[in-house]
Structure 1
């Protein structure tokens, strides 16, 4: 029976829309297992890691590799860059004794082809980075101001300030009378949280937030 260990990785900012989310990786791995694996097969374990592709210090990957070698299983990833974005790191994995891995999106690729693909992908990323840097430098040379226009920043700040005031006004009927009666901010937080009221983000109230709300309502000195 063919044995597999699956490994999925996402960076902090990656999600389903990027095509690199966990669901997308799981789908690709399942397609590989169902269509390209020898049968019968068994998935011994699944490993998931939240880490950037340029960071080689990944405990979940090392654990997956160790388990794959221990059970003579094949390590499966959805895309080659889920292992790493560095060709040197991928090359070191290819040379690691007792390790066999497969890339779901490239089911027929051998080690040589994967190495070439990794090298080309790294070269493309470097080229894009250099091209972007050159374009920014050229824009600065022409006097183009980079970043968001000042009026957009001002509008955003005003909108955030208005939203914060509206949030404070929603609980003003609770926090203002309590503050005027001499209750501490900590006590007010306890009352809000005990009543089941939540912030606009669905979180519990804390002393810092309640203090800011009272200040916006003009009750900080009460």
Structure 2
């Protein structure tokens, strides 16, 4: 049987299920090997699971290949397709699919699993809202323990947002550094081509060209050494 591997994460790191790209690929490859399935393509989306798979850039391509190759879609876990029963039901009308962690489950059975999972998530969300409402009422009535719990939760949420902001800022910083290094690389190689053989001489060469480090400073021997290590080049 032919299968098209589909992998989804919500961020460039790990997805909200705790499965990163490599882990999902491992599940898929292992299931294909154990069941004799032929993987005819792989597509990876970095996108929220709130979108239906046909509305995701790579998801749409995966579905197209399934039709062209008369293949089934293969994912590591059911929630990599969607957390929505509606989306799963709509997908059933477009193609058959397999889940690596439940390789023997039929499409209809997977639809039932998705319905049960969604119901459980709704129950948990409802219980959480009710518990928070009760806690807030106790806090409003002057319960010191409830007040402390509310404060602790608020601090945890604020910390989580702060961590997310820091992560986003670091990602952007690395993009800027990589872009700057890519722009500097041909000039560095040109300096080395001229047979310069000390970090200081290369720094002087770059500075003479009017180039600066990512922080806007003149190049020093240390900065040149780091740059050469990043490009894996030497004298």
Q: Which runs of 5+ in 2 are unaligned?
A: 140-146, 163-211, 224-235
Indicate the residue corresponding to 2:137 in structure 1: 141
Change (3 A) 1:17 1:123: closer
What is the alpha-carbon distance in structure 2 between the residues aligned to residue 118 and residue 190 of structure 1? 53
Instruction: Tell me the matched-pair count.
Output: 158
Q: Conserved in 2, the CA contact under 8 Å of 1:80 and 1:118?
A: yes
Q: How does 1:90-169 map to 2 (within 5 A)?
A: 90-96=88-94, 99-143=95-139, 144=147, 145-146=150-151, 147-148=154-155
**Higher helix proportion (structure 1 or 2):** 2
Q: Provide the rounded CA distance (Å) in 1 between the counterparts of 2:12 and 2:124.
A: 19
Partner of 2:24: 25
- CA spacing shift, 1:35–1:122, aligned 2, 3 Å: same
Deviations 1:110-156 (A, max 9, x none): 1221111000011111111111111111111111233129xx98xx9
**Cα gap change, 1:119 to 1:187, in 2 (>3 Å):** closer
Give the secondary-structure state (helix, strand or coil) at the position aligned to 1:53.
coil
Instruction: Return closer, same or farther for 1:24/1:189 CA change in 2, 3 Å cut-off.
Output: closer
Contact 2:3 2:40 in 1 (8 A): yes
- Is 1:64 aligned to residue 62 of structure 2? yes
SS in 2 for 1:15: coil
Matched, 1:47 2:43: yes
1:3 aligns with 2:29: no
CA deviation vs aligned residue, 1:68-89 (integer Å, no higher than 9, x gap)? 1111112110111101110000
Identify if the C-alpha distance between structure 1 residues 18 and 116 changes in structure 2 by more than 3 Å, giving closer, same or farther: closer
Higher relative CO (Cα under 8 Å, sequence separation at least 6) belongs to: 1
Q: Which runs of 4+ in 1 moved over 3 A?
A: 16-19, 186-189, 194-197
- Tell me if structure 2 keeps the 8 A contact 1:16–1:23: no
What does residue 12 of structure 1 align with? 11
Post-superposition offset of 1:109? 0.7
Quote the offset at 1:188 in angstroms.
10
Contact 1:14/1:20 (CA < 8 Å) preserved in 2? no
